[in-house]
């Protein structure tokens, strides 16, 4: 039955929605857990910095393992690695729900991050390898819509579960849905063999490259994530930064010499990939700051409740959901330059407007409008930019390169929070106010807003650099669909 389904033109959408469930679960899980953190803190009688490791440990595990797991799927079987990741994800969710103490909960979430890395590192690669090249932008945009819907549903579902059933159900809810998804993935995915692997000797997995990249990323994220809290010039931070740099240099040296590198660095000679990755990093660097800082401003300066702030964020998420598939589909027909440049221009405009108009009593409509403008920019930019990056590589490398685009997003988001926080707290300190976001209140509104304006000005300038990169990387032309059999379109779903 399922083998015959693989012969139908609609099979590519069966693959998409099967994998989209996994993406949706991951996004919803993250939003739900964030809502549950205060209850977890109270249950275990802990403090917020310790409880935050439930989220931090999960995110670090994903970031460190994304590239290696994407490459592992390229070499072995994306389907098998993906399903194995889902099994780990579901088992860890159950373990987290039954955790008797906070240490066990954090450990379970780290393990769940390992499973999520296997899922994220191979899910998108299977989707884009199933669709023909002239539909790549459309499917990337539709996938972005799944992420947008998940970001809306996650906090709402988390609040419902915590209030009605208790915080443990934030984790338990993943188990029945995950079991069904594992069964569907095992049955629906993998009908067809990768054309790139037929008659080709399987390359060896680059274990040293995986270790060096993972170590460098772990140190980088820990340094960037803690710099504003413990001081950028302290011995632990400087040691960590030096260690990350040494491991990065060693990684580059090794990858240029090993016969089968984890990440083929020579791919960066291709302008589409190199400029696309750089522009993508700048896009998320500039875009995440508003989503992180505006809740502080809305709650602690304007006095809105967390529930109201959550409602204020919904229009921006809806905008991202709607524009993602539209821009992706249009980039398949008209190329990506006008959409990537236009998207970055909208995001830059939101930063410059906030940098010049934000006060300690700005109307909430202005904030919502700027969040929507920023999300519109992300929606226009993201799918066409990823479309351009993936058009520059062979299908046999979709796993590691799609993982790279997700790693770019994760690392830029962390860096954006660190950069913005540093600018804000340094400005507050220079104006005689305690240099900490914990000190934000109406009494120090002037200093806090001055810091925000400086931060948004800097981010606007960086996004302008991204516009230039998007211009010089070139423009795509519409690809002609390959008149191959349905099985030939399933490259990479193996």
Say whether both 9 and 99 belong to one domain.
Answer: yes
Tokens of 118: 């296997």
Instruction: Please tell me whether residues 96 and 178 are part of one structural domain.
Output: yes
The CA distance from 127 to 18, in Å, is 10
Neighbours of 241 (CB within 10 A): 17
> Exposed, middle or buried by CB within 10 Å (0-12, 13-18, 19+), for 473?
buried
Q: List, for residues 12-26, the tens digit of each pLDDT value.
A: 888 888 888 888 888
Average pLDDT of the residues in 193-221: 76
pLDDT at 492: 43
Q: Which residues, 6 or more positions from 99, have their beta carbon under 8 angstroms from its beta carbon?
A: 105, 108
For the ranges 9-13, 306-310, 418-422, the maximum mean pLDDT occurs at 418-422
DSSP state of 257: T
pLDDT in tens, 444-465: 889 999 999 999 999 999 999 9
The predicted structure's pLDDT at residue 454: 94
Asked if 216 and 199 sit in the same domain, the reply is no
Burial of 91 (0-12, 13-18, 19+ CB in 10 A): middle
Q: Residues 173-202: pLDDT tens digits?
A: 999 989 998 998 888 887 444 444 445 567
Query: What is residue 256's DSSP assignment?
Result: T
Between 347 and 487, residue with greater pLDDT: 347
Q: 232 and 200, same structural domain? A: no
Judge whether residue 478 has pLDDT over 60. no
Express each pLDDT in 337-375 by its tens digit: 899 999 999 999 999 999 999 998 899 999 999 999 998
CA 346, distance to chain mean position in Å, is: 20
For residues 211 and 190, membership in a common domain is answered with: no
What pLDDT does 160 receive? 82
Could you count the other beta carbons within 10 Å of the beta carbon of residue 419? 22
291, 458 Cβ separation under 8 angstroms: no
Query: Whole-angstrom Cα distance, residue 291 to residue 313?
Result: 8
- Segment 100-127 shows an average pLDDT of 90
- What pLDDT does residue 2 have? 54
> pLDDT averaged over the chain?
84
Backbone angles phi, psi at 262, to 5 degrees: -65, -45
Confidence of residue 487 (pLDDT cuts 50, 70, 90): very low
Residues 269 and 251 in one domain: no
Domain boundary among 229, 261, 293: 261
CATH code of the domain covering residue 421: 1.20.1250.20
Cβ burial of 53 (10 Å; 0-12, 13-18, 19+) is: middle
Of 240, 261, 282, the residue at which a domain comes to its end is 261
Tell me how far apart the alpha carbons of residues 453 and 259 are, in angstroms, rounded to a whole number. 49
Name the CA dihedral angle for 193, 194, 199, 200, rounded to a multiple of 10 degrees: -140
Return phi, psi of residue 61, to 5°: -60, -40
Query: pTM score, two decimals?
Result: 0.82
**304 shares its domain with 394:** yes
Distances (CA, A) of 183 to 125, 201, 459: 20, 30, 45
Q: Are residues 431 and 486 in the same domain?
A: yes
Secondary structure letter of residue 485 according to DSSP: -
Percent of the chain, pLDDT > 70?
A: 92
Rounded CA separation 234/226 (Å): 11
On the question of pLDDT at 239 being above 90, the answer is yes
pLDDT tens, position by position, 243-281: 999 999 999 999 999 888 888 888 898 888 999 999 999
Q: What is the mean pLDDT of residues 317-342?
A: 88
Q: Which has the minimum average pLDDT: 47-51, 92-96, 141-145, 155-159?
A: 47-51
Last residue of a domain, one of 261, 277, 303: 261
At residue 440 the predicted structure's pLDDT band, cuts being 50, 70 and 90, is: confident
Given a cut of 80, is residue 289 above it in pLDDT?
no
The number of folded domains in the chain is 2
Contact of 422 with 232, CB cutoff 8 Å: yes
Q: Could you tell me if 119 and 240 lie in one domain?
A: no
In terms of domains, do 329 and 221 share one?
no
Q: Are 115 and 61 in contact (CB under 8 A)?
A: no
pLDDT in tens, 399-414: 888 888 888 888 888 7
For the CA atoms of 317, 402, 115, 249, the dihedral, rounded to the nearest 10 degrees, stands at: -120
Range of the domain at 393: 2-205+262-490
Residues 275, 414, single domain; the answer is yes
pLDDT at 200: 57
The CA-CA-CA angle for residues 271, 275, 279, to 5°, reads 165
- Range name among 239-243, 258-262, 290-294 with the lowest pLDDT average: 290-294
Query: What's the rounded Cα separation, in Å, for the pair 340 and 334?
Result: 12
Do residue 266 and residue 254 come from a single domain?
Answer: no
The tokens describing 34, both together, are 């964030």
* pLDDT (average), residues 372-387: 91
Q: What is the dihedral of CA 454, 458, 463, 469, to 10 degrees?
A: 170
Residues 6+ apart with CB under 8 A from 285: 412, 415, 416, 419, 459, 462
């Amino acid at each position: 039955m399922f083998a015959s389904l693989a012969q139908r033109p609609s099979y590519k959408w069966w693959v998409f929605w099967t994998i989209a469930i996994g993406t949706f679960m991951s996004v919803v899980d993250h939003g739900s857990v964030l809502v549950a953190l205060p209850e977890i803190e109270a249950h275990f009688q802990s403090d917020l910095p310790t409880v935050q490791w439930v989220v931090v440990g999960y995110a670090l595990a994903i970031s460190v393992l994304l590239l290696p797991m994407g490459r592992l799927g390229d070499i072995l079987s994306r389907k098998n690695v993906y399903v194995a990741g889902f099994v780990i994800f579901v088992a860890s969710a159950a373990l987290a729900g039954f955790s008797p103490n906070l240490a066990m909960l954090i450990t379970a979430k780290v393990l769940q991050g390992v499973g999520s890395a296997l899922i994220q590192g191979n899910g998108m690669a299977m989707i884009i390898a199933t669709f023909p090249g002239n539909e790549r932008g459309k499917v990337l945009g539709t996938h972005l819509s799944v992420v947008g819907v998940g970001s809306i549903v996650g906090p709402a579902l988390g609040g419902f579960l915590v209030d009605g059933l208790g915080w443990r159900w934030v984790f338990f809810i993943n188990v029945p849905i995950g079991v069904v998804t594992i069964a569907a993935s095992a049955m629906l995915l993998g009908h067809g063999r990768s054309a790139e692997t037929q008659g080709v000797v399987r390359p060896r997995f680059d274990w040293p490259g995986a270790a060096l990249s993972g170590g460098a990323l772990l140190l980088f994220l820990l340094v960037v994530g803690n710099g504003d809290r413990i001081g950028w010039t302290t011995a632990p931070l400087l040691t960590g930064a030096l260690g990350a740099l040494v491991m990065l240099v060693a990684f580059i040296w090794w990858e240029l010499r090993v016969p089968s590198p984890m990440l083929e660095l020579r791919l960066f000679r291709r302008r589409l990939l190199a400029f696309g990755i750089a522009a993508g990093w700048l896009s998320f660097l500039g875009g995440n700051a508003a989503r992180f800082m505006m809740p502080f401003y809305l709650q602690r300066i304007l006095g809105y409740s967390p529930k109201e702030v959550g409602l204020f964020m919904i229009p921006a998420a809806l905008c991202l959901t709607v524009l993602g598939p539209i821009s992706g589909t249009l980039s398949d027909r008209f190329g990506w330059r006008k959409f990537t440049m236009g998207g970055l221009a909208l995001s830059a405009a939101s930063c410059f407007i906030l940098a010049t108009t934000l006060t300690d009593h700005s109307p909430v409509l202005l904030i919502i409008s700027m969040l929507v403008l920023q999300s519109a920019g992300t929606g226009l930019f993201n799918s066409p930019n990823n479309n351009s990056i993936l058009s520059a590589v062979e299908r046999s490398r979709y796993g590691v390169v799609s993982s790279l685009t997700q790693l770019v997003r994760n690392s830029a988001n962390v860096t954006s929070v660190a950069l913005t926080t540093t600018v804000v707290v340094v400005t507050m300190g220079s104006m005689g106010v305690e240099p900490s976001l914990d000190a934000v209140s109406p009494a120090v509104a002037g200093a806090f807003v001055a810091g925000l304006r400086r931060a948004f000005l800097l981010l606007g300038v960086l996004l302008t650099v991204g516009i230039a990169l998007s211009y010089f990387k070139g423009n795509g032309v519409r690809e002609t669909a390959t008149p191959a059999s349905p099985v030939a379109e399933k490259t990479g779903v193996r």
